[in-house]
């Protein structure tokens, strides 16, 4: 089967492309490279011993999407192409709605014209909002997220539900994942943010490699065990394997139509201070940090109930926190400037 992966040159996308290739799928990647590098796909091909078709383009470009679906016999789509920084989204809400919501509409329209109906969406735990209690369970009502980023994910999930009501052929999966970290154990691919990292571990790793002076920990007075935010961190390769498991599930369940949501997480919250400590222990590096004011859009703590994915997808996060730290450092130390090293 030939799978279209939008945003496939990015962090989660590239690891998922590798997992797809290793599981016998053919892959077409569509990416505008705004926050990614084509070098990641070159390395994925080397690791997999297989090739990837790459098309550079934007998901808001309807004519390019139409041409893409005419050129390739696509069987299913895994959609990663989104802006993803919670804090940045509060400063640039229009850009986030334009790319994440309007871009997804363009993609779904192109799929409909091309008669492609299998769709896996890269969603987020932020769709549960502030109203729901932790741990988050898929049966909870979609919440009101505290950021435009989270709101854009809620909007797309609602669009998917409405598309499924209107089109009996539509088969959608929304993967609500938590905080992916780590890198492929080879050290060849990993997270390579453009500019200043918005996510915790890439910033920690850049401090360790000497690229940044110190880490800012946003908020040390949250109602948590040590005062810092708690998140459900999972290894990016576990997350990548979760996308393949969801795709396998979609394909095997031929009678299924509609939209199904799955949490992908470990089910265990870890604090920011604990992440820093784990990184120091795994690498022998000391991380300088300051505690800074809270960041807009951040919640004190959230984590997954991932039992549904375990039962229905036969998936669970198996890699340890130490592996996440070691693989991150293996990537960063071998690629101090990311894919430009």
Catalytic residues: 149
How far lies 160's CA from each of 1, 118, 138, 173, in Å? Answer: 23, 11, 15, 9
What backbone phi and psi angles, to 5 degrees, belong to 94? -65, -40
Those residues with Cβ within 8 angstroms of residue 142's Cβ, 6 or more apart along the chain or in another chain: 127, 128, 129, 154, 157, 158
- 62 burial level (CB within 10 Å; 0-12, 13-18, 19+): middle
Pair 198, 17: CB distance under 8 Å: no
SS (H, E, C) the chain: CEEEEECCCCHHHHHHHHHHHHCCCEEEEEECCCCCCHHHHHHHHHHHCCCCEEEECCCCCHHHHHHHHHHCCCCEEEECCCCCCHHHHHHCHHHHHHHHHHHHHHHHHHHHHHCCCEEEEEEEHHHHCCCCCCCECCCCCCCCCCCHHHHHHHHHHHHHHHHHHHCCCCEEEEEEECEEECCCCCCCCCCCCCCCCCCHHHHHHHHHCCCCCCEEEECCCCCCCCCCCEECEEEHHHHHHHHHHHHHHHHHCCCCCEEEEEEECCCCCEEHHHHHHHHHHHHCCCCCEEEECCCCCCCCECCECCHHHHHHHCCCCCCCHHHHHHHHHHHHHHCCCHHHC
């Amino acid at each position: 089967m030939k799978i279209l992966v939008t945003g496939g040159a990015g962090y989660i996308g590239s690891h998922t492309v590798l997992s797809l290739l290793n599981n016998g799928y053919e892959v077409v990647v569509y990416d505008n490279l705004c926050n990614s590098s084509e070098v990641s796909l070159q390395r994925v091909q080397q690791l997999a011993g297989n090739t990837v078709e790459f098309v550079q383009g934007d998901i808001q470009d309807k004519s390019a999407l139409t041409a893409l679906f005419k050129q390739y016999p696509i069987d299913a789509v895994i959609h990663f192409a989104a802006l993803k920084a919670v804090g940045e989204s509060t400063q640039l809400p229009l850009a986030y709605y334009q790319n994440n919501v309007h871009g997804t509409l363009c993609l779904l329209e192109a799929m409909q014209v091309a008669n492609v109906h299998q769709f896996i969406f890269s969603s987020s735990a932020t769709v549960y909002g502030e109203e729901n209690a932790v741990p988050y369970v898929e049966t909870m009502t979609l919440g009101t997220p505290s950021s435009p980023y989270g709101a854009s994910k809620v909007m797309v999930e609602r669009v998917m539900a409405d598309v499924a009501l209107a089109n009996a052929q539509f088969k959608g999966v929304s993967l609500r994942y938590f905080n992916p970290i780590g890198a492929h154990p080879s050290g060849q691919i990993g997270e390579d943010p453009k500019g200043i990292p918005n996510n915790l571990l890439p910033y920690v790793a850049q401090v360790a490699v000497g690229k940044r002076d110190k880490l800012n920990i946003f908020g040390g007075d949250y109602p948590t065990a040590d005062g810092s935010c708690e998140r459900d961190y999972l290894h990016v390769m576990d997350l990548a394997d979760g996308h393949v498991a969801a795709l396998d599930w979609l394909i095997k369940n031929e009678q299924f139509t509609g939209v199904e949501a799955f949490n992908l997480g470990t089910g265990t919250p870890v604090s920011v201070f604990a992440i820093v400590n784990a990184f120091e222990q795994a690498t022998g590096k000391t991380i300088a940090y300051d505690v800074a004011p809270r960041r807009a859009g951040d919640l004190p703590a959230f984590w997954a109930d991932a039992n549904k994915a375990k039962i229905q997808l036969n998936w669970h996060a198996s890699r340890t926190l130490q592996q996440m730290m070691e693989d991150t450092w293996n990537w960063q130390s071998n690629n101090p400037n990311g894919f430009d090293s």
